[in-house]
Amino acid sequence: MPSPETYDVIIIGGGPVGLLLAYQLTRFELSVCIVEKQDKDTPEGRYGRAITLFPRTLELLDQLDLVQPMLQQGFACRSSVTYKDGVRQFPGKVWTFMENIQGTVFDFALVLRQMYTEDILRERLDRGKVTYHGSMECVGFETGLDDSEYPVTVHCSGPGGMMSAKSKYLVGADGGHSLVRRYANIPFDGDSSEDQWIRIDGIVETNMPINRAYGAIETTTHGNVLWAPLDHGATRIGYAYTPEIAAKYPEGVTEEVAVNEAIACLWPFSLKFKEVHWWTLYKIGQRMARTFATHNNRIFICGDAAHTHSSGAAQGLNTGIHDAVNLAWKLALEVQRLSHPEVLDTYTTERQSAVQRLLNYDKDISLLMTHKWPAWYDGDPHADPNVLLGEIFNNAAPFNTGLGISYEANVINQPWESSTEAAVGVQPGTRAPDTKLTTPGTFQSVRMHQVLRNRCQFHAIVFTGGDIKTAKSDLVPLREYLDSHPELAMHPAIAWLTVCGSAGCSPYEVLGMTGFGDTYFDARGIAHYAYKLDSRKAMLVVIRPDGLIAFTCALDGETIWQHFSRILRSQPQETC
């Protein structure tokens, strides 16, 4: 019998989360195998599911060079509308946060059905580094007790029979009924309610005046109805399938029932389905795995395998993408033995904290969307639940857009050790601002995030301040330190960058020395201000591969390496 194939990582699940994880890992030079049990060429395997990508998710995809083909196909939604009894409501509720998104070039929600997202990800996979097994199901796995290079053995079944493969790590991205999670004996804490929702996609005709905006339609019969403009001219309608509605259909729900109730929930507007692409009936619930990693960090889960919730806030795929981006670079650095093991531990702690906030929020909105009050509500029981629903959505706007998602201090997110310095720089664990820089020579404007591509490296950014002569007292000693400390100067997990607070014909002449990595100008101090830095001082800001702040410190080589040495193993190379 031939020896099993070996991979750095085996991923169970070829949906968007599994595909995105594979794309990143191969981008970071790892070998990957994907096992997907569904036939993606069937309508059941393509239509439906997630549709909305919010700004922070788009930023993450942009830094991975993935967002442009998605923008070509998706519907960029910057507007919302609220209707009640056929009358537009002012002010609007629920989706109004989409209308005033600031601080990002992606000031919209991109509506793109999951099948198109998956198509783009599959097209971008490096087939030379990815083995893809479709219509094949994982039936079990075990982790060896020895310290072999490939301690995980995965067993799969498909049309051609059984197959086994070995890997260093296994990731379950196999949905809410995850075999990986169950086989790893990870508890899935939470519960399901008896509330049911219907979602239906298709090409429609309607006399609703504003029908290409994210809509909230307030009804007394179908809850707070979702109206979502989709890609390629399609529309999604979502409504509560209440016990009263279910009583009308003792033989159960069919496509005809889903269409008829969609028509009813839009009254007094007319609605006609020219095409039905997909529909579903599902129960609402919120669950989260007790851990996202097990077996000594050899087995991981992400996406719906790690957490499930309603689609009320349209956060499902966004959360899964955040999981995949958070895990990929940490896993790659561990495989390449560039980071300390504690870095990989932060995948569970960081993502669980974010998911728990989502679940708490989701419980409230899923109840209110079906005209039920949260347990904590002690107001007027006869009040309009849509009012509270709108308030909760507005208050959660930083979370909904993803721009406000942050993580607590840990081995990566290192706060200032001195309280007097704590106010300097943006907070560790928060999103790095996407500010404007100027390129040398052409003086063209470029966004910081365009420079900070995700290539599994920390970005060590030297901000010179506005007074270069004063900054030289810090810049020169740092250059001397780096020249004699290659473990910092050319560590493969660190990319250096200089943001110069002045401008001129040559970065070398402005700085009076060679810059640290590429140099960009910030003569107006816009970037220094965005990063909350004193323009009179030179400082270092370190940004994680996923675009969050790791730490800020003075331009002292020894201090910089002390911070990095908590994260990275020493890897001496040639000087920068």
> Across all residues in the chain, what is the average pLDDT?
93
Beta-bridge partner residues of 179: none
Q: Pick from 353, 482, 478, 341: which is nearest to 412 by CA?
A: 341
CATH fold, domain 419-565, is Glutaredoxin (3.40.30)
Q: Model confidence over 514-564: pLDDT tens digits?
A: 999 999 999 999 999 999 998 889 999 999 999 999 999 999 999 999 999
Q: Is residue 145's pLDDT more than 70?
A: no
Predicted confidence band at 312 (pLDDT cuts at 50, 70, 90)? Answer: confident
Predicted confidence band at 126 (pLDDT cuts at 50, 70, 90)? Answer: confident
Q: Model confidence over 212-232: pLDDT tens digits?
A: 999 999 999 999 999 999 999
Q: Is residue 335's pLDDT more than 80?
A: yes
Q: What is the pLDDT of residue 120?
A: 97
Angle at 88 between CA 85 and CA 89, to 5 degrees: 95
CB within 8 Å of 135: residues ≥ 6 apart: 36, 37, 38, 39, 158, 159
Q: What is the mean pLDDT of residues 443-461?
A: 97
Q: Say which CATH superfamily domain 5-74+111-189+286-355 falls into.
A: FAD/NAD(P)-binding domain (3.50.50.60)
Sheet holding 436-438, edge to edge: 445-447, 436-438, 518-521, 494-500, 458-463, 539-543, 549-554
CB within 8 Å of 96: residues ≥ 6 apart: 80, 82, 390, 393, 394
Q: Pick from 110, 102, 142, 162: which is nearest to 403 by CA?
A: 102
Q: How far is CA 430 from CA 330, 410, 412, 519, in A?
A: 17, 13, 12, 24
- Give the number of other Cβ atoms within 10 Å of residue 254's Cβ: 12
Q: Model confidence over 182-207: pLDDT tens digits?
A: 999 999 999 888 789 999 999 999 99
Q: Which two tokens stand for residue 531?
A: 């990063």
Q: What is the mean pLDDT of residues 164-178?
A: 96
In percent, the amount of the chain with pLDDT more than 70 equals 95
> How many angstroms separate the CA atoms of 437 and 181, rounded?
45
- 420 burial (CB, 10 Å; 0-12 / 13-18 / 19+) is exposed
Q: What is the pLDDT of residue 411?
A: 98
Could you tell me the pTM of the whole model? Answer: 0.95
In three-state secondary structure terms, 568 is: strand
Q: What is the pLDDT of residue 438?
A: 97
Task: Evaluate the omega torsion of the peptide bond into residue 209 and state whether it is cis, within 30 degrees of 0.
Answer: no
Q: Strands 494-500, 518-521: parallel, antiparallel or unpaired by DSSP?
A: parallel
More confident residue, 146 or 318: 318
Q: Is residue 246's pLDDT more than 60?
A: yes
Q: Is residue 251's pLDDT more than 90?
A: yes
- 40 burial (CB, 10 Å; 0-12 / 13-18 / 19+) is middle
Q: Is residue 576's pLDDT more than 50?
A: no
Q: Is residue 440's pLDDT more than 80?
A: yes
- The domain limits of the chain are 5-74+111-189+286-355, 192-285, 419-565
- 268 burial (CB, 10 Å; 0-12 / 13-18 / 19+) is exposed
Amino acid, single-letter form, for residue 40: K
Q: Pick from 38, 49, 131: which is nearest to 318 by CA?
A: 49
Q: What is the mean pLDDT of residues 417-437?
A: 80
The CATH architecture assigned to 192-285 reads: 2-Layer Sandwich (3.30)
Predicted confidence band at 139 (pLDDT cuts at 50, 70, 90)? Answer: very high
